[in-house]
Amino acid sequence: MAIPALRPRRLQHGDVVPRASRAGLRQLTWFERAALGGLIVITVVAVLAPLISPHDPQARVDDAFLAPSGGHWFGTDDIGRDLFSRVVHGIRLTWLPSLLVILVAVLVGGTIGLLSGAFAGWVDRVLQRCTDLFLVLPSTLIAIAVIAALGPSLRNTLIAMSIFWWPWYSRIVRGEIRAIAARPHVEAARLAGASQSRVLLRYLLPGVVPSLLVAATLDVANVVLVLGLLSFLGLGAPAPSAELGAMTARSLDSLTTAWWLPIFPALVLFLLAFSANVAGDGIRKTMQSA
């Protein structure tokens, strides 16, 4: 995962976190602005899914295999459940867990990278060898094995993904810490008698935030797709849970007779990943212009 070098906004008083400027925001294309707005809408839908969905996603509300109409925007499934309500809840079961995986990866990988970059010697060697171990392992295959051993469920899927998702963030943070530590304002702080903890929290950690933010934003799309893939393989929440990947997999046989059953969940899953990717590019462009 290659992260472009980001220049700090300023070096005074250890403040090295660039902020989105108006000039940077003006450089965004309408497509990127629409993607950023789409992420906000997606998050609102995920949080308020029980209030937005017109029906209970697990309840039979009408005849089975009804085509999309004004009464059922996405039609009904093979049991007669409202597909739109299930897709809305599917967004909730995909988007919020994806953000949780990213948060855990940033916290774990960021902490390891911060300690590894700030403390040389055996601390750096031990932490980096652990990172190398997780990087060389076939993470997807082992995650599938972990889920199969623990049992298919959304919780176990998130545990398996979080275990293997942090090493890239460790490498990013370590590299940024090493680069920032060599800058004049950090050396001046050390010569002025600042403690190691103060240098770490005041001068080094803020400089890592831009790279972490860009990396995490761009990585959301990957997490969404992996979660969708595991759900598609039947390793997510068990039926009748309304996961987008699982709904797509279960209804593939109906593609020629009731096309809306696999198409709408798959399309929404694609839009989630695509919007996150485009928005990540926009955020990177904004911060580089700051």
Whether residue 15 is contained in a domain is answered as no
The CATH number of residue 241's host domain is 1.10.3720.10
Q: What integer pLDDT is reported at residue 8 of this predicted model?
A: 33
- The model's pLDDT over 140-159, given as tens digits with 9 standing for 90+, comes to 788 888 888 888 888 888 98
CA 185 to CA 166: how far, in whole Å? 29
Instruction: Please state which of the ranges 5-19, 117-131, 255-269 shows the lowest mean pLDDT.
Output: 5-19
**Region 80-103: what's the mean pLDDT?**
93
Whether residue 262 is contained in a domain is answered as yes
Whether residue 244 is contained in a domain is answered as yes
Whether residue 214 is contained in a domain is answered as yes
Out of 7-11, 31-35, 168-172, 189-193, give the one with best mean pLDDT. 168-172
Whether residue 117 is contained in a domain is answered as yes
**Region 88-114: what's the mean pLDDT?**
93
Whether residue 181 is contained in a domain is answered as yes
Of the candidates 179, 178, 173, 180, the residue with the CA atom closest to the CA atom of residue 11? 180
Q: What integer pLDDT is reported at residue 13 of this predicted model?
A: 38
- Report the chain's mean pLDDT, rounded to a whole number: 83
Checking if the pLDDT of 207 tops 70, the result is yes
24 — pLDDT class (breaks 50, 70, 90): low
Whether residue 186 is contained in a domain is answered as yes
Whether residue 278 is contained in a domain is answered as yes
Instruction: Please state which of the ranges 1-5, 101-105, 121-125, 181-185 shows the lowest mean pLDDT.
Output: 1-5
Q: What integer pLDDT is reported at residue 14 of this predicted model?
A: 39
Domain count, the chain: 1
Can you give the residue range of the structural domain that contains 211?
94-288
pTM, two decimals, is 0.83
- The model's pLDDT over 261-279, given as tens digits with 9 standing for 90+, comes to 999 999 999 999 998 888 8
Q: What integer pLDDT is reported at residue 134 of this predicted model?
A: 87
